[in-house]
Each structure stands twice: as C-alpha cells, then as structure tokens.
Amino acid sequence: MAVLAGIDVGTTHCKAVLCTPDGTVLAHAQRRTPADGHVHDVARLQQAALDALAACTAAAGRTPDAVGVTGMAETGAPLDRDGTPLLPASSWSDPRPAAQAERLRGDPGAAALHASTGILPSPKVPLAKWHWLRDEHPAVLRRTHVWAGAADLVAQALTGAVGTDATFAQRTMAWDVRTGTWREDLLARAGLAPERMPTVRAPGEPVGRTGTATATAVVAAGVPVVVAGHDHLVGAWAAGVREAGQAADSMGTAEAVVTVGDGPPDAGAAAREGMSYGRHVDGRHWCVVAGMSGSGALVEWFCDRVLGLGDAPADERYGRFADLVGQAGDGPTGLTVEPYLYGRSAPRPDRDRRLAVHGVEARHGLPELARGLLEGASHQARWMADVQGELTGGGPPRTVTLLGGSVRLEAWTAVKAAVSPWRTLVCAVPDVACLGAAAWAGAALGLDPAAVTGERYEVRPRPEIARAHRAAHAREFLPTVQAGGAGG
C-alpha cells in the first residue's frame, strides 16, 4: 500500500503526517517554525519542515511514495537564478509594506482590481511586498529570478524546482481568478513579469520529483512532490468541506471562515464586506474567505497579559485558561466582547476597531472574561459565515466544520455550536491540513484525493443554552459591533 506524506508550513509550527490512501494516519510530528520577528530564514524554514517529515518516517519506519505541501499564504521570498534566497522570507504578518498597500487601496481602479484578483489590498499580499521591494531594495528586485511562497520553498528543497498552486497564486493579488492567468500589467507596475512567477500547477500535479541530490533516508529519489495549496482551503477539503453550501471555520492563531459556492460571488459586495474569493483546491468550486487575525491570539493575549503566563509551558497556559472558562458556566456571560485585537477585516472592515468588553458588572471576574473572549470570537465567526452565505447566494451554510488547533478547547466548540443556527461539526483529526496535503499528493499517483476525509462529529448544544446565545447574537453582539466608530 502506498504511503503519503503531507507537510503544513504554519505560522507557529511546521507539521507533517504520514498516512495511507484512505487517510489512516501512521505518524505525525511538528517542529517550531523559525522566525525572527516578521521574517523567516529560508534554510531554517525548509529544514524545520523536513525535520518534521523525518520524525514521521522514523516513527513509521516507512518513507513516502508521494509528498504534498501546504502552508500559510502570502509568506514568501525572492530567489536568484540559482534558487538562492536574496532576502529572508517575508511573513504574512510583515507590516513593512503598509505604505505600498495604502497606495494600492487608493488606486482609482481598486474595485476592478478586486473583481479580477479576488483580493483586497493589505500589507500581507505579495503584490504590496513586491512594490516595497521595488521602493526599498531595487537591486534585489532586479536580481529576482522567481518568487517562492513558503510551501513552494519546501517543495524546492525536495525537488530543486519552484512551482505553486492556483490557491496560492490567487493570494498574491496579481492572479486573475476568472481567467487563471498572471496579470502582466499588475506585475509590471511592481517591476516583475509573469516569467518571474512560479509555474502554477493543476490540482495534484507535481512541481517536480526528488532527485539524487535531495534524496535522503527521509524521501527516496523519484518521489513526486505536490504543492497542494493554501492551508485553510486544503484543511477544509480534508475535513469534507467540498460542496456548495458547506463552510469551514479554520481555528488557529488567526481564524478563517471559508464558504464553498458553485460560482464567484458579486465582487462589489464581497469587497464592501472585506472578503476575498477564488477557486477551491479542486479547481472546480469557488469559495469566499473571511479572516480574523486575532482568534487564538485572543487566548494568547489573555494568558500573557492578564494571567501573566508568558513564560509558562503551553500545557500550563491552556490548562489554566480552560479551568477559568469552566468556572464561568455554560450560558452567556452577559458580556459583549468585540474580539478585534488588530482591527476588523470582515465583515464591514474597520481597521480602527479594537478589543472591547461591554456590559461588565460586579459579578464578573476572570472566568467570565475568559469565556467572554470565546463568545466574542464565536459571534464574529457566525457573522462572517452569515454574510458569506448571502454572497454565495445559498443563504446560511447547511453545515460548518470546525478544524484547527483551537478545537481542542471543547468549551470553545460548544459555544460555537450554541451561537450558530446550523449543524456544527468538528474535525477530530489533528493536523488536518497535513492530511489534505497528503491526499493531493496521492493524486500524483493516480489516487482519488476525495477518498481522504478526516473524522468528524457533531456538537449539539442544549436547546435552552442555544436559544440564549442566539438571542444575544441578535440583541447584543450585532448592534454593538455594527455601531459606528471604534469600540471603547
């Protein structure tokens, strides 16, 4: 039986799994993603991903027959003609291209730009990064032979070739999502050209194969390597979110809500709501994506700033937080939390909106504040999914599948289910994006990627708890966050 490998180059960790073609996980491992502020040393980033894969092969006693790579979008580095990085990889969180993003935002053709690319300007998009390179490092830009994203860099370490997937290309803001081609005019404005972009492969098509120079005990020579696509979408696919009317809520440090549709949404409406859109990983369906940059980051903030656990091990931090949440009980806390650590990107974008807590009374303490943060983030996710349902024309989603590291906090998934009127499923598989990457690696061997679906279970809230949370959503949360001006 073939053995498939999936690698996820994440913001916090590089993760890997080995599995069989039916999705049975044989081994999984992770290594810390090396970072220096908002940049990543490329060699260390590549090595962290390969070390995670090596740990899997050692545990399973097998090397993979195909490798798939997924990871964070927008992170990338310019490479010279020899494939050597000219600068460290700029993370999606890198704020340096803010001025360039602002110029793109003020461009008279910004609406048409979003309609074509599906992306709204921000410092994280590679198009803004390329404008920044043009302004700040013109010599580097002149020497740039190809731009490579985080997942592309790991595939390059295995194959020596640079290629990518359409779901990564469409995050650059220089890819036409309707024609499936690079926008030559947009690249030219940044001092680049389509031939200096990575080759975009079809879903499941390898970017290359491991050669004798890169083959090790971890991966044999001649193994196909597939760049599977954007981690949020790849994880959603592996969790069974593949058809119109289904949605995924990818819960990590940041959070993304993805709703699948049969066609593109109204571009103007999507832009007004601060949402991007493009193809799903199968290349057939469309999806609308909305993000919240401070989701799991809310828990981190609370543990660091409120509980003073900045240096404590992760198990201690999350254990303390979970204990506090449990002390607050099951029903609504009575607090209305605007969960915007870094501003609100969608719906109704408001960059000045900030974390705010309303309705504090003498009875409230740390337990209620901890649970209130989860309530605020859950209400926000429901709002994003409701708006996406309107944009895709299908109404509210039939199901929303929760996935990602934060689903381990059962109180959070319970609140999500209580707040939302649809069926709430939880994908119980850790590292589900890795599983999705492995599934699309299998396509290079002629296997059906749809044969891999992570196990899911339904969360059913008590009716009285659900009624109370849903009433709070309509009566308190939406009026508060939709009121004019930043929260206070």
**How high is the mean pLDDT in each 10-residue block of the chain (488 residues)?**
95 94 94 96 97 96 96 96 97 96 90 92 96 97 97 96 97 96 96 97 97 77 96 95 96 91 94 95 96 91 96 93 96 97 94 95 97 98 97 92 93 97 94 96 96 94 97 98 65
- For residue 488, what pLDDT is reported? 32
- For residue 39, what pLDDT is reported? 97
Q: What are 70's two structure tokens?
A: 């997924």
**Is residue 321 a contact partner of residue 307, using CB atoms and an 8 Å limit?**
yes
**DSSP, res 277:** E
Reported pTM: 0.91
* Residue whose structure tokens are 């429901």: 382
The SS3 assignment for 484 reads coil
* Residue whose structure tokens are 């404590």: 312
What is the rounded distance in angstroms from the CA atom of residue 16 to the CA atom of residue 64? 12
Burial classification of residue 189, based on how many CB atoms lie within 10 Å of its CB (0-12 exposed, 13-18 middle, 19 or more buried): middle
Q: What are 292's two structure tokens?
A: 């919240």
Please write down the long-range contacts of 136-144, taking CB distance under 8 Å and 24 or more positions apart: 136/96, 137/87, 138/191, 140/78, 140/86, 140/87, 141/78, 141/191, 141/192, 142/191, 143/78, 143/80, 143/86, 144/78, 144/79, 144/80, 144/86, 144/192, 144/196
**Is residue 455 a contact partner of residue 428, using CB atoms and an 8 Å limit?**
yes
- Domains, in order of start, for the chain: 4-232 (3.30.420.40), 241-428+455-488 (3.30.420.40)
What is the rounded distance in angstroms from the CA atom of residue 464 to the CA atom of residue 444? 49
**DSSP, res 475:** I
- For residue 300, what pLDDT is reported? 94
Cβ within 8 Å of residue 48, ≥6 positions away: 14, 31, 32, 33, 34
Q: What are 306's two structure tokens?
A: 């409120």
**Is residue 391 a contact partner of residue 265, using CB atoms and an 8 Å limit?**
yes
- For residue 485, what pLDDT is reported? 52
What is the rounded distance in angstroms from the CA atom of residue 238 to the CA atom of residue 246? 13
